[in-house]
Amino acid sequence: MKHFPRLHDSYIARAIISSVLLAWGVLLGLEVVLSFADDLSNIGRGSYTINHAIAVAGLYLPGNAYDLFPTAAVIGSLLGLGELAATSELTALRALGLSRRRIGLSVLLVLSAFTALMVVNGETLSPWASERAQAIRSIRHSDMVVSRYDGLWAREGGMFLSARGGEQKQRGADSWLELHGVRLFEFAEDGRLLSIANARVAEHHGNHWTLHDVERTRFGARSVQRSKVATERWDSTLSESVLAASVTRPGNMASSQLRTSIDYRQRNGLDASNYERVYWGRWFYPLNVLTLCLAAAPFAFGSLRSGGYGKRVFIGIVFALGFWLLQQITTKLAGIYRFDFRIAYAVPPLIMLVVSWMVFRRRSG
């Protein structure tokens, strides 16, 4: 280990990198094509054009790369190691004194670099790009305009809404959209300002909005009237779903923002499960990727030696799908039965590690 990494590490790295990039590129290409094709039906709605659809597809690329990397990593690892096994190059490396564990370490070093890059992407580029894509998609609604360059802005006819932020809330079976720091600007058809209303909170229930702690200023031809009310009903056709899509989602937050949101909700007795799920998913992401690849590695040393690309891809997909299903089950159970999400995210990697260790031990025996 004096000259680490050694020549064989570089050799294995080249095989793994090329295979991972190939699998990653194919998966991303399929995702982009399918998403773009599904978005074509929205062209012509409001001011939404094909250029907007292309921009949305491009902006979702960082997020798709983050989500698809675990699958690409396991398929690419099996392709790379399987190819080395099929050409007896793994046998040659074993003859030089390299153990399966040492070869596996070389693979994990390469994947660790990719994983670190995706962790940075998941904290920076991906959330920013996803928010921009959601803002572009909101222009499909011709009766309103939504922007997130400075908080949240929306328009309905002569009424303009501004909000500092918002969130989707849920208590039991009841769910609603809540906006904070709301200001309503009402204009006449000739462009004259009719009124300005400031509300601490705006909640959307059923088919109407409820404004809390409202201060309203009305402008007449030669007068100004001010009023204050604790609550006020506001009947509006502003789409809750569109506004909710423009509100920052847990998946579009950095880990520090998620931690702050979790603490706030826990202090106020609100449901924080969606934020906890995303938050701990970020922390366990590197472990999930490396564990998944480690669990699939034994197949490259044995059963894939005489198999082709189709067999390796199939095994990789089975591993990735099985791991994903297991993790979905444990995280759903954590949300339903209110146990720690860290346990839910730790169980699938631990199961994979145990299975991997047993397979390695049996094949080494």
**Residues in CB range of 311: below 8 A, 6 or more apart:** 82, 304
What pLDDT, on the 0 to 100 scale, is given for residue 28? 95
- Measured over the CA atoms of residue 278, residue 281, residue 286 and residue 289, the dihedral's sign is negative
Distances from the Cα of 170 to the Cα of 144, 167, 248, angstroms: 26, 10, 16
Asked whether residue 137 carries a pLDDT value surpassing 80, the answer given is no
What pLDDT, on the 0 to 100 scale, is given for residue 211? 92
Tokens 């826990």 correspond to 266
Asked whether residue 9 carries a pLDDT value surpassing 90, the answer given is no
Asked whether residue 118 carries a pLDDT value surpassing 50, the answer given is yes
- Which carries the bigger pLDDT value, residue 72 or residue 135? 72
**In this predicted structure, which of 31-35, 177-181, 263-267 has the lowest mean pLDDT?**
263-267
Confidence of residue 188 (pLDDT cuts 50, 70, 90): confident
Asked whether residue 186 carries a pLDDT value surpassing 70, the answer given is yes
Highest mean pLDDT among 133-142, 173-182, 240-249: 173-182
Take residue 35 and report the two structure tokens written for it: 């998403």
What pLDDT, on the 0 to 100 scale, is given for residue 3? 46
Alpha helix locations (H) across the chain? Answer: 7-39, 50-59, 61-86, 89-95, 100-123, 125-137, 240-246, 255-267, 273-301, 309-337, 341-364
What pLDDT, on the 0 to 100 scale, is given for residue 92? 73
Q: How far apart are CA 259 and CA 272, in angstroms?
A: 10
Q: Where are the domains of the chain?
A: 7-132+268-364, 147-238
What pLDDT, on the 0 to 100 scale, is given for residue 146? 46
**In this predicted structure, which of 1-15, 108-122, 158-172, 286-300 has the lowest mean pLDDT?**
1-15
Asked whether residue 17 carries a pLDDT value surpassing 80, the answer given is yes
Asked whether residue 311 carries a pLDDT value surpassing 60, the answer given is yes
**In this predicted structure, which of 91-100, 137-146, 252-261 has the lowest mean pLDDT?**
137-146
Confidence of residue 58 (pLDDT cuts 50, 70, 90): very high
- Give pLDDT tens digits for 282-298: 999 998 888 888 777 77
Mean pLDDT across 331-338: 87
Q: Chain-wide mean pLDDT for the chain?
A: 80
Mean pLDDT across 117-121: 94
What pLDDT, on the 0 to 100 scale, is given for residue 268? 63
Mean pLDDT across 127-145: 70
**How many degrees, rounded to 5, is the angle at CA 9 between CA 116 and CA 86?**
105
The superfamily CATH assigns to domain 147-238 is: Lipopolysaccharide (LPS) transport protein A like domain (2.60.450.10)
Q: How many CB atoms lie within 10 A of CB 357?
A: 13
Asked whether residue 115 carries a pLDDT value surpassing 90, the answer given is yes
Mean pLDDT across 136-151: 55
